[in-house]
């Protein structure tokens, strides 16, 4: 790479990090004017730049102008579309991968990771299996980066057993592979399998981090899980991971959902850096376990601290109002929802209808139900 190419690349990298579309376009024009537009390294960098800036139409045009495309050219565009997480972007990833194979371009681990991310977003195990087959053919299936992507794809597509097979065949595992597999079990409510894997990770001295603990705790949400919650809590304490707010929030959620409000409250009160998730977890937990008055008191306290509620906080509060027939508080919450613009959420509307109906406000419940039907129809047309 000559001095001019290096200078252009450094500037382009800077604009990519800033997502500065104006200056990057000016630099692109300068690259073309200097006669370096056909430089493959710079051409690939331009595809990556436009993709990272979210200007995928221009990224595609730049990609098509490259005569001597290499695997990096394809990766830049595929990863750009896969990170978009839209149906259109996912469809284009599928087309690009098929075209790549037609043109006999051999993908690498980064290609497969982008393709598998798309398959996971689509929950399309069939497309994911195509990528899996390709990874086996090119001896990339045992790459830890590809392996984690395969586990994620199979688990998100509902094929947890296939994900576990990939996990078991991995020659080495990192925290991402353990977390992804445990999360897959948690989503499918396969709690016993998640706990066994968590114990296996500890036996093999895997990398125990906050993500592993939040994943396993997300599987422990029933009264019969309370002993497991306490066990995970003890391990987190020994490893110093309770210092992470995400772990404390997960513990509050698991304790409340498993019916242990006292331990949940203890964890909540020991958190001096509470965020909206912490408050929401405690409020929702109270509402779900029949401690509705405590939920409403905590919501008032949350407001006095100036913490902005989330839509999930409001669902917990509305459920608490429904439980004890607190129509006055429910109407106050409704007014608050209108101010924050949350009323357009379908599940918020559903909670409002339920609250009014259970509080005996038939007219308000009917009005809310009609608005809910209109909202569902509107969402269906989009």
| Domain presence at residue 234 | yes
Condensed to tens digits (0 to 9), the pLDDT of residues 194-226 reads 999 999 998 887 677 899 999 999 999 999 999
Would residue 214 count as lying in a domain?
yes
What residue numbers bound the domain in which 374 lies?
284-382
User: Which helix (DSSP H) or strand (DSSP E) does residue 227 occupy?
Assistant: helix 226-238
**Residues, the chain, total?**
382
Boundary residue ending a domain (227, 248, 273) = 273
Q: Are 339 and 291 in a shared domain?
A: yes
Mean pLDDT of the chain: 89
CATH label of the domain that carries residue 203: 1.25.40
305 domain-assigned: yes
Q: Tell me, yes or no, whether 315 and 229 share the same domain.
A: no
Instruction: Using the 3D structure, point to which of 208, 239, 273 is the last residue of a domain.
Output: 273
Q: Is the domain of 260 the same as that of 317?
A: no
- Distance (Å, whole) CA 330 – CA 336: 10
**Are residues 301 and 269 located together in one domain of the fold?**
no
Examine the domain organization and report whether 293 and 364 are in the same domain: yes
Do residues 323 and 241 both lie within one domain? no
Per the listing, tokens 């902005």 go with 308
Look up tokens 């139409």; give the residue: 57
- Label residue 124 by pLDDT band (50, 70, 90): confident
The verdict on 262 and 290 lying in the same domain is no
Domain contains 8: no
Distance CA 278, CA 10 (A): 42
Is residue 369 scored above 80 in pLDDT? no
- How many C-alpha atoms does 106 have within 13 Å on its Cβ side? 5
Residues 289 and 266 in one domain: no
Name residue, tokens 């603990």: 213
Mark whether 355 and 300 lie in a shared domain.
yes
| Residue 111 half-sphere exposure toward CB, CA atoms < 13 A | 25
158 domain-assigned: no
Tell how far CA 249 is from the center of its chain.
17
Residues 257 and 316 in one domain: no
Could you give the CA distance from residue 36 to residue 11 in angstroms, rounded to a whole number?
14
- Domain membership flag for residue 248: yes
Count of domains in the chain?
2
Nearest-angstrom CA–CA distance, 7 and 13: 10
321 and 269 in a single domain? The answer is: no
DSSP string, 309-365: P-HHHHHHHHHHHHHHT-HHHHHHHHHHHHHHT-TTSHHHHHHHHHHHHHTT-HHHH
Per-residue pLDDT tens for 275-305? Answer: 999 999 999 989 988 889 999 999 999 999 9
Alpha carbons within 13 angstroms on the beta-carbon side of residue 99 total 13
- Boundary of a domain, candidates 218, 252, 273: 273
235 belongs to a structural domain = yes
- Whether 228 is covered by a domain: the verdict is yes
pLDDT of residue 251: 96
């Amino acid at each position: 790479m000559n001095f001019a190419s290096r200078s252009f690349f450094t500037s382009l990298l800077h604009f990519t990090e800033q997502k500065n579309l104006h200056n990057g376009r000016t630099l692109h024009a300068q690259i073309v004017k200097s006669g370096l537009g056909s430089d493959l390294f710079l051409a690939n960098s331009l595809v990556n730049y436009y993709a990272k800036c979210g200007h995928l139409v221009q990224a595609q045009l730049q990609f098509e102008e490259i005569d001597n495309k290499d695997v990096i050219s394809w990766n830049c565009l595929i990863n750009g579309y896969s990170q978009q997480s839209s149906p259109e972007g996912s469809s284009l990833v599928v087309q690009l991968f098929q075209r790549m194979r037609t043109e006999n371009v051999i993908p690498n681990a980064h290609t497969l990771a982008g393709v598998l991310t798309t398959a996971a977003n689509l929950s399309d195990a069939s497309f994911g299996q195509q990528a899996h087959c390709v990874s086996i053919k090119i001896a990339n299936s045992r790459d830890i980066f590809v392996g984690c992507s395969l586990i994620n794809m199979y688990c998100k597509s509902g094929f947890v057993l296939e994900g576990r097979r990939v996990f078991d065949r991995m020659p080495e595992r990192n925290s991402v592979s353990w977390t992804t597999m445990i999360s897959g079990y948690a989503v499918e409510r396969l709690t016993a399998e998640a706990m066994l894997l968590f114990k296996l990770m500890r036996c093999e001295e895997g990398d125990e981090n906050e993500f592993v603990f939040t994943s396993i705790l997300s599987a422990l949400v029933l009264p019969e899980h309370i002993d497991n919650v306490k066990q995970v809590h003890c391990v987190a304490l020994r490893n110093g991971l309770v210092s992470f707010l995400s772990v404390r929030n997960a513990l509050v959620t698991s304790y409340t959902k498993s019916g242990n409000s006292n331990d949940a409250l203890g964890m909540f009160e020991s958190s001096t850096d509470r965020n909206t998730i912490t408050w929401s977890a405690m409020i929702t937990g109270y509402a779900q376990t029949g401690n509705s008055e405590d939920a409403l008191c905590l919501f008032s306290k949350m407001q006095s601290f100036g913490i902005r509620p989330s839509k999930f906080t409001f669902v917990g509060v509305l459920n608490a109002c429904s439980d004890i027939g607190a129509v006055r508080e429910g109407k106050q919450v409704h007014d608050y929802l209108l101010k924050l613009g949350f009323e357009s959420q379908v599940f918020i509307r559903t909670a409002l209808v339920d609250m009014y109906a259970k509080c005996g406000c038939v007219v308000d419940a009917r009005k809310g139900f009609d608005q809910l039907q209109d909202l569902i129809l509107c969402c269906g047309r989009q």
